[in-house]
Structure 1
Amino acid sequence: MASPPREPIPSLKPSLLQPELQPPPSPRTHRALRRLQSAHTLGASNRNSAHIPSQPSLISQQRQQQNQNAPNSQPVQRNGSPTRSTRGRANSDATPPLVHQMNAVTAAKRPGSRKPVFSHGHLSLDKIIRDGPADGDYIGALESARWKVVDEGIKSADDGMSTVRIYVWLVLLNAPILSTDDYLALIHRGASPAYSKIRNDTFRTLTTDPLFRRRVSEASLIRLLNAIAWTLQDAREEDRLSGPRKARSSMARASLASNASDSSQGRKFSPTQPLTDSKWEENAVEPGVYVQGMNVLAAPFLYAARSEAEAFAAFHTLLTRDCPGYIRGAMDGVHRGLALVDKVLAIVDPKLAMYLTAKGLSAEIYAFPSVLTLCACTPPLPEVLRLWDFLFAYGPHLNIVCIVAQLTIMRTQILTSASPNKVLRSFPQLNADLVKSVTIGIIKKIPDDVYNEIVNHAL
C-alpha cells in the first residue's frame, strides 16, 4: 500500500509571551528571590522577541513548497514528524553534534509564519479525551491531541503512572470499543495452543524493573497473552476456512467470464481447476499466534492500563493493525525493519555505518529486540512510556528512526571502542526527549522512498 506524502508539523514556539512584570515584592527567602529573578529574565527575553514572528522548521518549508508546486492538490495526511521546543541543556546533558547541526541549519533558514492554530488547542489534553470533539470535529480534535502529546506531553508521575495515558493510547491507536465480558470470555476458554510458549517467557519479562514487577503480576501477563493468542488463533482458522472458498469463487467468476468471451468467438474453453485446500495453504501467508518477545511488547500496556481489558484492546490493535508483519510467518516485518535500520543509518551517519559494517555488525545482530518491542526492552520503563506517546501519536513505524537516533547518540562510544559489539549488547538508559529530538532531525534527511518503506515495513 502506497504511503501518502509526509504531513509536516510546524515548529513549536516557546510559551506565550509573559506580560510586563511589576517590581516584585520583597522575597522572604533566597529561593523565592532566585525564582523571581529567573521569571524576570525570561520575561525580558520574551519582551525583546515580542515582535519577531515565529518560524517553521525545514520540513515545514518543504511542505509549503510542495503546496505551491501543486496548489490544486489535496494533501493527504499521514503520520508526520513534529518538532518540539526544548530549553537549553546543561553541559552534562548536551545534545550530540547531529542535533546542534540540525538546530543551527533550521534557525538560519526558516522563514516567518504564524503559530499553528488547532480547533481544540485551547483545551487541555485531559478535556479533549474526556469530553470528545466539539461539534463533531473529530479530525480537529485528533490533531490537537496529537500536537499536545508531543508539545506538552502526557502528565504523569515519576514512575510513569498517569490516569489518562491509556485512554490517549486507545484513541491514537483507533482501538475499537471492547466489552469486558468479551475479554473474560477469552480468559474462560482456558489455555490456548500457545500457552506453553507463553509460560516459558512471562517469568522473564522485565525482571530487572522493580516498577513493573511491583505493579504487574505474571498471572496478569499470562492472561493477556493467552487471550491475544486465542484471538489470533481464531483469525487463523477463519482465514483457513474462508480462503479456499474465496479462491474457488474468484476462479469460478473468471471461468464464467472467459467462457462467455470465448464462446462469443466460437472457441471452446477449458476452465482452470480451482485451488484445493492444500494448495491454498501453501500459498497463504499464515498469521502467527505467539512469538518470543510479545511478552515484552505487552508489558507497557499492562503497566499503563487501568484494567486488563484496556491493555488487551490497545495491544491487539497494535499487533493486528500497525505491525502484523512482526508476528506473521517468519517475522518478515521485523527483518524488513532491521534492514531499514542499516539503510537509514547509512544515510544519516555514513562513517558510523561503515565502521559497524567493517566490524561485521548489522542491525540483525544488535537491534532485533529494539525493533520487535518498539524499544520497550531498553529501560527505564517510564521513559519507554513517554517514547510510546510519541510513537502512537505519529506512527509506530517511527521506531525504526528512534533506533537510529539511539545509535547516533552513542556514536562516540561506538567509534572509540575496539569491540563495539559489547557496547551494542545493551543500549544506554533511554532518554525519551533526547531520542525524539534526534529522531525529528533524522526524519528531515530521509528520502521519500525510504520513508515510505519505513511506513509500510511492518504491514
Structure 2
Amino acid sequence: MELQTPLTPRTQRTLRKLQSAHNLGAATKITSSSSTLLTQQKLRDSHSRDISPTRRQALNRSPRRHRANSDASGNANLPNLRTASSTTSLHAKRVALSRTPSAADALSLDRLIREGPPGDDVSSALATMRFKVLGQGIKSDIDGMSSSRIYIWLILLDAPVLSTDEYLKLVHRGASPAYAKIRNDTFRTLTTDPLFRRRVSEASLIRLLNAVAWMLHDGKEERRPSSSRQSLPASNSTSPSRGEVSQAFTSSPGARTRARALTLTTEGSDSNTSEPGTYVQGMNVLAAPFLYAARSEAEAFVAFHQLLTKECPGYIRGAMVGVHRGLRLVDKVLGIVDTKLSLYLTSKGLSAEIYAFPSVLTLCACTPPLPEVLRLWDFLFAYGPHLNILCIVAQLIMMRNELLGSLSPNKLLRSFPTLHADQIKAHALAIIKMIPNDVYEEIVNHAL
C-alpha cells in the first residue's frame, strides 16, 4: 500500500485559507483536490488518536486548528456536569461565600473535570467548582492561557455537546444575512491587543460570527408562522436580506468619542423587540475572548451561542433592550453604594448610557488586558454574567478619587483603566451586600 505523505504546514495553511471566511461570499467551490487533502487529514487525525466517538464529540476539537491538538484526557464526564448545571444555577441567588463541604473539595479543578463528580453528586461538584473558581481561580500562564478554562466555561454555561461537523455545516452554508455587517466589524476587533492578534485570525472570527448568525436566523425562522416565512438560500450573497431593518442608535457626543475598537450601535438589529437579532455591532468583541481561550472554533462557537441565547438574549434583542436596562442599573447601583460619586457624575451630565455602553455589552471585554478579562469572566460565568453590572460599578469606585478630583471626569471615562480582576471581584462582592433584594433581582433578570 502506498503511504500518504504527511501534510506540511504550508498545506495546512492552504486548507485553512480555502475554508476561511473570505470565501464565504464567493460562488466558487473548493476544488476536488483540496477536498481530498482535507478528507485525508481528517482520517489521519481520527486514526492517530485512540478516542471513542463519544469522547471526541465531548471534546469538540477541530482537527484543523493547531491550538486544538492537545488532548484533554478523561473529559468524558464533561457532559454529565453540563446536564445538571442549570438545575443548580446560582444566577438567581447572591454569591455564596460559605457552603457545605463535599467530597469534591479534595479534588483540583483539573481532576474534577477529568474524573467527574465524586459519587455522582453533580450538585455538590458544581458548587465546589464555583467556589474554587472564586477563591483559587483557574490556573493559567502569563498570557492567560489555560488547558482547562474552556471546559470549565462550557460546564458553567451549561453548554450542550456539539460535534465539529455540525459547526462546519454552518460554515459551509456560506454568507449569512448579516455577513456584510460582520465583515465591517471584525477587522477592528481588539486591534491594540497583540496577544489576541497573534493567536486569533480575522478569518476565524468571521467564521464564528457568521455561524452564530445562521443559528440565530434559523431560530427566528422556526418561531415564525409558516405563512410568513421567507426562504433564504444557503447563499453566497453577502447582502443583507430585504426584510432586515437597520435601526441607528444615536449616542451622545461623549460616547461617540470613546475609542474602544468597536462600533456601539444597534445597526442591523431587528425592529421587533421581542425577537433576538442575528447580529448587532459589538458582538465581535464579545466573541473574541471565547476564540482566544478555546482550543477549537467549535468550542468557542457553542460557548458563545449559549451565552447569547441563554444568559444574555436581551443584549441582541431589538434595540438592545437588555443592554439599556443594564445601563440604568449601573446608575441605580452607583447611587446606592456611592451617592456622592453618583451625584457628581450626574452634575456633569454623565450617565452610564454615555460611558458604560461598551462595558455592559461586552462584559468588560472591551477593556484590556485580555488575560484579566479571562479571569473576570471566570467569576462571571461561575456566578452569573449579570454580575458584570456590579463589576462596572466596582471599576467606578476604584476610580473614585480621580473622578471626584477631575473637572472633566468624562475624559477619564472615555477609556477605563486597565482591568485588575481580583480587585474588581473584591469590590463586587462588597457591593452585593449593600444593595436591596429587589434591585439585585432586577440585575439578575436585566439581560433576559
- With structure 1 as the length reference, what TM-score do the two structures score? 0.68
Q: State the alpha-carbon separation in 2 of the partners of residues 349 and 282 from structure 1.
A: 37
Contact 2:272–2:318 at 8 Å: present in 1 too?
no
Residue equivalent to 1:146: 130
Residue equivalent to 1:413: 402
Change (3 A) 1:151 1:422: same
Query: What is the SS of the residue equivalent to 2:225?
Result: helix
Residue equivalent to 1:137: 121
Deviation at 1:291, TM superposition (A): 0.3
Q: Please tell me whether residue 121 in structure 1 is matched to residue 105 in structure 2.
A: yes
Q: Give CA-to-partner distance per residue, 1:430-450, whole Å, 9 cap, x none.
A: 000000000000000010000
Deviation at 1:287, TM superposition (A): 1.5
Q: Please tell me whether residue 286 in structure 1 is matched to residue 275 in structure 2.
A: yes
Residue equivalent to 1:163: 147
Contact 1:79–1:395 at 8 Å: present in 2 too?
no
Contact 2:271–2:319 at 8 Å: present in 1 too?
no
AA partner of residue 424 (structure 1): L
Deviation at 1:133, TM superposition (A): 1.2
Q: Please tell me whether residue 391 in structure 1 is matched to residue 380 in structure 2.
A: yes
Change (3 A) 1:196 1:144: same
2:223 alignment partner, one of 239, 242, 253: 239
Q: State the alpha-carbon separation in 1 of the partners of residues 227 and 134 from structure 2.
A: 42
Q: Give CA-to-partner distance per residue, 1:9-52, whole Å, 9 cap, x none.
A: xxxxxxxxxxxxxxxxxxxxxxxxxxxxxxxxxxxxxxxxxxxx
Q: Give CA-to-partner distance per residue, 1:401-453, whole Å, 9 cap, x none.
A: 00000000001000101100000000000000000000000000010000000
Residue equivalent to 2:433: 444
2:392 alignment partner, one of 389, 403, 409: 403
Greater shift, 130-139 or 306-315, is seen at 130-139
Contact 1:348–1:445 at 8 Å: present in 2 too?
yes
Q: State the alpha-carbon separation in 2 of the partners of residues 197 and 416 from structure 1.
A: 41
Deviation at 1:286, TM superposition (A): 2.1
Q: Please tell me whether residue 188 in structure 1 is matched to residue 172 in structure 2.
A: yes
Query: What is the SS of the residue equivalent to 2:224?
Result: helix
Q: Give CA-to-partner distance per residue, 1:201-248, whole Å, 9 cap, x none.
A: 000000000000000000000000000000000011111126989xxx
Contact 1:82–1:150 at 8 Å: present in 2 too?
no
Greater shift, 200-209 or 284-293, is seen at 284-293
Alignment of 1:417-428 (within 5 A): 417-428=406-417
Contact 2:273–2:318 at 8 Å: present in 1 too?
no
Query: What is the SS of the residue equivalent to 1:121?
Result: helix
1:81 alignment partner, one of 87, 90, 95: 95
Question: RMSD of the TM alignment (CA)?
Answer: 2.0
Q: State the alpha-carbon separation in 2 of the partners of residues 282 and 446 from structure 1.
A: 34
**Identity of matched residues, %:** 71
AA partner of residue 202 (structure 2): E
1:307 alignment partner, one of 280, 290, 296: 296
Q: Please tell me whether residue 344 in structure 1 is matched to residue 333 in structure 2.
A: yes
List alignment gaps of at least 5 residues for structure 1.
1-74, 84-113, 246-280
Q: State the alpha-carbon separation in 2 of the partners of residues 153 and 284 from structure 1.
A: 38
Q: State the alpha-carbon separation in 1 of the partners of residues 108 and 393 from structure 2.
A: 32
AA partner of residue 302 (structure 1): L
Q: Give CA-to-partner distance per residue, 1:318-347, whole Å, 9 cap, x none.
A: 000000000010100000000000000000
Change (3 A) 1:129 1:422: same
Alignment of 1:330-369 (within 5 A): 330-369=319-358
1:179 alignment partner, one of 163, 188, 199: 163
Q: Please tell me whether residue 458 in structure 1 is matched to residue 447 in structure 2.
A: yes
AA partner of residue 339 (structure 1): R
Query: What is the SS of the residue equivalent to 2:124?
Result: helix
Q: State the alpha-carbon separation in 2 of the partners of residues 394 and 304 from structure 1.
A: 19
Q: Give CA-to-partner distance per residue, 1:103-134, whole Å, 9 cap, x none.
A: xxxxxxxxxxx985133000110011111112
Query: What is the SS of the residue equivalent to 2:281?
Result: coil
Q: State the alpha-carbon separation in 1 of the partners of residues 227 and 394 from structure 2.
A: 42
Residue equivalent to 1:199: 183
Contact 1:296–1:376 at 8 Å: present in 2 too?
yes
Q: State the alpha-carbon separation in 1 of the partners of residues 358 and 346 from structure 2.
A: 19
Q: State the alpha-carbon separation in 2 of the partners of residues 135 and 122 from structure 1.
A: 13
Contact 2:133–2:379 at 8 Å: present in 1 too?
yes
AA partner of residue 175 (structure 1): A
Deviation at 1:282, TM superposition (A): 9.3
Change (3 A) 1:79 1:203: farther
AA partner of residue 424 (structure 2): V
Q: Please tell me whether residue 381 in structure 1 is matched to residue 370 in structure 2.
A: yes
Q: State the alpha-carbon separation in 2 of the partners of residues 282 and 413 from structure 1.
A: 40
Deviation at 1:79, TM superposition (A): 4.4
Q: Give CA-to-partner distance per residue, 1:51-78, whole Å, 9 cap, x none.
A: xxxxxxxxxxxxxxxxxxxxxxxx9954
Residue equivalent to 2:256: none
Q: State the alpha-carbon separation in 1 of the partners of residues 362 and 171 from structure 2.
A: 24
Contact 1:342–1:362 at 8 Å: present in 2 too?
yes
Contact 2:171–2:211 at 8 Å: present in 1 too?
yes
Q: State the alpha-carbon separation in 1 of the partners of residues 227 and 279 from structure 2.
A: 22
Q: State the alpha-carbon separation in 1 of the partners of residues 89 and 213 from structure 2.
A: 35
Aligned length: 320
1:229 alignment partner, one of 192, 195, 213: 213
Query: What is the SS of the residue equivalent to 2:162?
Result: coil
List alignment gaps of at least 5 residues for structure 2.
1-87, 230-269
